[in-house]
Amino acid sequence: MVGHGVVRECLHDPGVQRVQTVGRTPGGAEHAKLREIVHTDLWNFASIESELSGFDACFFCLGVSAAGMNEAEYEGVTYGITLAAAETLARLNPKMTFVYVSGAGTDSSEHGRTMWARVKGKTENALIGLPFKATYMFRPGVIEPVYGAKSKTAWYRFFYSISKPLLPVVRRTFPNYVLTTAEIGQAMLAVARDGAPKKTLESKDIRAILLSPPLSAA
């Protein structure tokens, strides 16, 4: 869902020259500057390494719900796939900015009581230690899908279908806690270009980036 949003924003941004996606299935978008790579083994990128060089930024949006998964299974996806991709990209693109979509409530100590939060925290900590030009952890709270973005998780889709009329109201009441998929994509592009004052960005920090004048335009 977030990936859909950031791809759309990249394709609409005249400053972005090339967009390449990697996923198990095609995303379905068509654009002159978009190239999609269908790659089924997301724990091993050796076979496509030749196609992963020459990029300024990676917006890593892959994620799964922890519902019904034990810690080992969830870590295998959340930590395993993320680090497999990030370690490959750091080696091939040392000047890259890596932006990781985490989540509100992530536990940086890695020792809290909530399983998913511990695993996300472990993933964030490992990413920060990689030799990228810069790494940023995006921790959005409530995400409002726009422009056709849809979650692949069934119960998320159900939640959004029943809450859709309420989200604009919640957004007006608590503007720092609700972001659209478009706004998250725009903020990712902003930090890739101009950086951010800190590595871990909560919803209010992401909104502040959207409201700040771009340094690249100064």
Domains and CATH numbers, the chain: 40-213 (3.40.50.720)
Look up residue 55 and give its amino acid. F
Residue with tokens 């100064």: 218
For residues 18 and 38, give the distance between their C-alpha atoms in angstroms, rounded to a whole number: 17
Is the pLDDT at 56 greater than 90? The verdict is: yes
Return mean pLDDT, the chain.
Answer: 90
pLDDT digits (tens, 9 = 90+) for 118-148: 999 999 999 999 999 999 999 999 888 887 7
Q: What tokens does 102 get?
A: 């985490």
Q: For the whole prediction, is pTM greater than 0.85?
A: yes
pLDDT digits (tens, 9 = 90+) for 29-46: 889 999 999 999 999 999
Is residue 1 within 8 A of residue 152, CB to CB? The reply is: yes
- Strand partners of residue 18: none
Residue 172 confidence class, pLDDT cut points 50, 70, 90: confident
For residues 126 and 83, give the distance between their C-alpha atoms in angstroms, rounded to a whole number: 8
For residues 89 and 96, give the distance between their C-alpha atoms in angstroms, rounded to a whole number: 8
Mean pLDDT throughout 20-26? 93
3-class DSSP assignment, residue 181? helix
3-class DSSP assignment, residue 195? coil
Mean pLDDT throughout 143-156? 69
